[in-house]
Amino acid sequence: MPLARVHNLSISLDGFATGEPQSAEAPFGHAGERLHEWMFATRFWDSSGSAGLDDALAQRHGQGIGAEIMGANKFGPPGWQDDPDWTGWWGSNPPFRSPTFVLTHRPRPPVEMEGGTTFHFLDVPPAEALETAFEAAEGQDVRIGGGATVVRDFVAAGLVDLMHLVQVPIVLGRGVRIWDGLEATEDDYDIEAVSSPSGVTHLTFTRKPEGSVHG
């Protein structure tokens, strides 16, 4: 059965996946680039980067993925819905290369980009969005691409089969946390942690078979 997967979601020690305030100049607010420095250092991001543990795990991001679901705040800075020309942060050829579903309370018609990415805008509950994305993925897995709010909502709804988090040794103190309201998430998942020489900790949450919603 196809899976709903989260990959490379970087969080601080206190569980924040972004700082604040988010803006066009500072998409991650006061966190800056600190949550993703581990990833920028890998070959996954830059062909001259490292090829060790961080890279091996980062590479799973695209493997077997046929569609992505993301939140409105990942797609653009506050207010992007007022700009009819906004097509995301990623230029004319976004890295998703598959149908990409943006959850927003202000949907608009789909936008076809270069390289296989088409942005679709949905105002529906998580389960319905996932059903739509699975159809578009044609048998492949669906990536729940973030940000924190969307991942939290999908985990809370019992819709996430596999979640790879990368805990970065910084304390942000404020921003958007993934854990709020997710008490006892550990009961539903087998959890593995591995420390990387880079200083980050990779956490893999695999849904326990008896709790699986897809099979």
DSSP 7: E
Q: Say whether residue 125 binds ligand NAP (CB under 6 A).
A: yes
Looking at the Cβ atoms of 139 and 194, the one nearer to ligand NAP is 194
Q: Say whether residue 103 binds ligand NAP (CB under 6 A).
A: yes
Size of the site for ligand NAP (CB under 6 A): 26
Please pick, from the candidates 146, 163, 198, 207, the single residue that binds ligand NAP as defined by CB under 6 A.
Answer: 146
Q: Say whether residue 132 binds ligand NAP (CB under 6 A).
A: no
Q: Say whether residue 142 binds ligand NAP (CB under 6 A).
A: no
- Interhelix angle 148-156/126-137, nearest 10 degrees: 100
Beta strands in 72-188 (DSSP E): 99-103, 111-112, 118-122, 141-144, 162-168, 176-177
Which sign, positive or negative, has the C-alpha torsion 132, 78, 34, 184? negative
Question: Do 117 and 75 contact (CB within 8 A), yes or no?
Answer: no
Q: Say whether residue 177 binds ligand NAP (CB under 6 A).
A: no
Please pick, from the candidates 2, 76, 88, 126, the single residue that binds ligand NAP as defined by CB under 6 A.
Answer: 126
In whole angstroms, the minimum distance from the beta carbon of 165 to ligand NAP comes to 9
